[in-house]
Amino acid sequence: MTATRLAARALIRLSGEDVAGFLQGLVTNDTRVLAEGRPVWAALLTAQGKAQWDFLLWPDDADILVDCEATQADALAKRLTMYRLRRPITIARDEALAVHWRPDMSEEPETRLFADPRLPGLGCRWLAPAIDNETADLAWRTWRLGHGVPEGIDELGTDKTLWLEANAVELHGVSFTKGCYVGQENTARMNWRQKVNRRLVVCEVEADPGEAARAWYPDLGLAVAPVRVEHLRAGHAVKLGDAEARPIVPAWLAEAIAEEQPA
């Protein structure tokens, strides 16, 4: 069977009293949507509206599962525990389930698949025990970058990228009707002004872009970097350090930046 498990992802289970309400005041997306049984993409921001961690939230009866980077799971769980205060909520790694992915929606026996909430082209995910030794992490990264979607601390950085610069509106990672959360004020102001001056995009590069890029994948000839919107509109190459880069602007992003006001 083709490998589907994403070993680079981990699950944190939140259980106890009103975990959806607890997360509602912390994360960028509306946890009330989880009642419909669908996962959502969200983030925990700094007070200035910059990304610290991004993740998917999955409903599991009254519990919520946080689908996050395995390398960041302990740090994220620790931060959520800090916010918990005296609430009767348990926050712990869930080792019984794993995150699975495939690029199409063909059915797995007895498995309910969900289209990735960010972009239908990203394929489908589901949660199930880790039964295969091989993993699909490299295939997933290649597929995701091919669709122009950054994720994770290596690509978004920590306290480096404003959430709307990470294309959160276009990829359905933010709600402007849910009320307050950490970093909400600056995020809402940027949306109201329609002025997102930079976008985090995937770029084709042939040399090391250095610190001008958030991440570089020499095996794929790709980097993830913040690029000013006027350069993306012009459609020409840009400089990332000493490297020439050709930003990839997928249709979903091109339509969005065409409507934004100039800085």
User: Tokens 């249709």, residue?
Assistant: 251
Determine the pLDDT at residue 194: 82
Q: Are residues 245 and 182 in the same domain?
A: yes
Answer yes or no: are the C-beta atoms of 31 and 23 closer than 8 Å.
Answer: yes
Domain span at 202? 152-259
| Alpha-helical segments (H) within the chain | 19-24, 73-84, 137-146, 152-156, 184-193, 229-234, 251-259
Determine the pLDDT at residue 259: 67
* Identity of the residue numbered 55: F
Q: Are residues 165 and 219 in the same domain?
A: yes
Determine the pLDDT at residue 36: 84
Q: Count up the domains in the chain and report the number.
A: 2
Domain CATH for 197: 2.40.30
Determine the pLDDT at residue 225: 97
147, part of any domain = no
Residue 103 per-residue DSSP state: S
1, part of any domain = no
Q: Identify the segments of the chain with pLDDT beneath 70.
A: 1, 106-111, 259-263
User: Tokens 């600056």, residue?
Assistant: 186
Q: Which residues contact 181 (CB under 8 A, 6 or more apart)?
A: 24, 25, 26, 27, 28, 45
Domain CATH for 26: 3.30.70.1400
Q: Are residues 170 and 127 in the same domain?
A: no
